[in-house]
Structure 1
Amino acid sequence: MSTPRIAFVGAGNMAASLIGGLRAQGVDAALLRASDPGAEQRARISAEHGIEVFADNADAVSGADVVVLSIKPQVMKTVCQALAPSLRDGQLIVSIAAGITCASLENWLGNDRPIVRCMPNTPALLREGASGLYANANVSAVQREQAEQLLSAVGLALWLDEEHLIDAVTAVSGSGPAYFFLLVEAMIAAGEKLGLPHETAARLTQQTALGAARMVIGSDVDAAELRRRVTSPAGTTEAAIKTFQAGGFEALVEQALGAAARRSAELAEQLGQ
Structure 2
Amino acid sequence: MLLSVMAGIKIKKIQQLLNHQKVVRAMPNSPTVLGMGITGYTAANSVSFQELMQVERLLNCTGRSVYLEDENLLDSVTALSGSGPAYFYYIVDAMIKSGIEMGIDENLAKLFVKQTMLGAYHLINNSDKNLEQLIQDVASKGGTTEAALKIFEENHLKETLKTGILEAEKRSKELSR
Q: Give the whole-Å Cα distance in 2 for the aligned partners of 1:218 and 1:118.
A: 28
Residues 98-247 of structure 1 mapped to structure 2, 5 A cutoff: 98-110=7-19, 113-247=21-155
Decide which structure has the larger Cα Rg and report it: 1
Q: Give the whole-Å Cα distance in 1 for the aligned partners of 2:128 and 2:41.
A: 26
Q: Percent identity, aligned pairs only?
A: 38
Residues 8-87 of structure 1 mapped to structure 2, 5 A cutoff: none
Unaligned runs of 5+ in 1: 1-91
1:251 to 159, 164, 170: 159
Q: Which has the higher contact order (CA 8 A, sep 6+)?
A: 2
Q: Report how many residues are paired.
A: 177
How much has 1:97 moved relative to structure 2? 2.4
How much has 1:149 moved relative to structure 2? 1.0
Q: Give the whole-Å Cα distance in 2 for the aligned partners of 1:157 and 1:226.
A: 27
What's the counterpart of residue 3 of structure 2?
94
Q: In the TM superposition, what whole-angstrom CA distance separates every residue of 1:191-234 from its partner, at most 9, and x where no partner exists?
A: 11112111211111111111111222233333232222222222
Q: Give the whole-Å Cα distance in 2 for the aligned partners of 1:135 and 1:154.
A: 18
How much has 1:127 moved relative to structure 2? 0.8
Whether the aligned pair in 1 keeps the contact of 2:39 and 2:64 (CA below 8 Å) is yes
How much has 1:160 moved relative to structure 2? 1.5
Unaligned runs of 5+ in 2: none
How much has 1:251 moved relative to structure 2? 0.9
Which letter maps to 1:95?
S
Q: Give the whole-Å Cα distance in 1 for the aligned partners of 2:38 and 2:126.
A: 16
Whether the aligned pair in 1 keeps the contact of 2:96 and 2:113 (CA below 8 Å) is yes
Structure 1 residues 225 and 159: CA distance shift in structure 2, 3 A: farther
Q: In the TM superposition, what whole-angstrom CA distance separates every residue of 1:76-129 from its partner, at most 9, and x where no partner exists?
A: xxxxxxxxxxxxxxxx32212223210111102326x23221000111111111
Whether the aligned pair in 1 keeps the contact of 2:7 and 2:75 (CA below 8 Å) is no
Q: Answer 1 or 2: which has greater helix percent.
A: 2
Q: Give the whole-Å Cα distance in 2 for the aligned partners of 1:225 and 1:116.
A: 39
Q: Give the whole-Å Cα distance in 1 for the aligned partners of 2:152 and 2:76.
A: 24
Q: TM (normalized to structure 1)? A: 0.61
Which letter maps to 1:97?
M
Whether the aligned pair in 1 keeps the contact of 2:34 and 2:62 (CA below 8 Å) is yes
Moved more, 204-213 or 135-144: 135-144
Q: Give the whole-Å Cα distance in 2 for the aligned partners of 1:189 and 1:127.
A: 29
Whether the aligned pair in 1 keeps the contact of 2:5 and 2:26 (CA below 8 Å) is yes
Whether the aligned pair in 1 keeps the contact of 2:11 and 2:23 (CA below 8 Å) is yes
How much has 1:157 moved relative to structure 2? 0.7
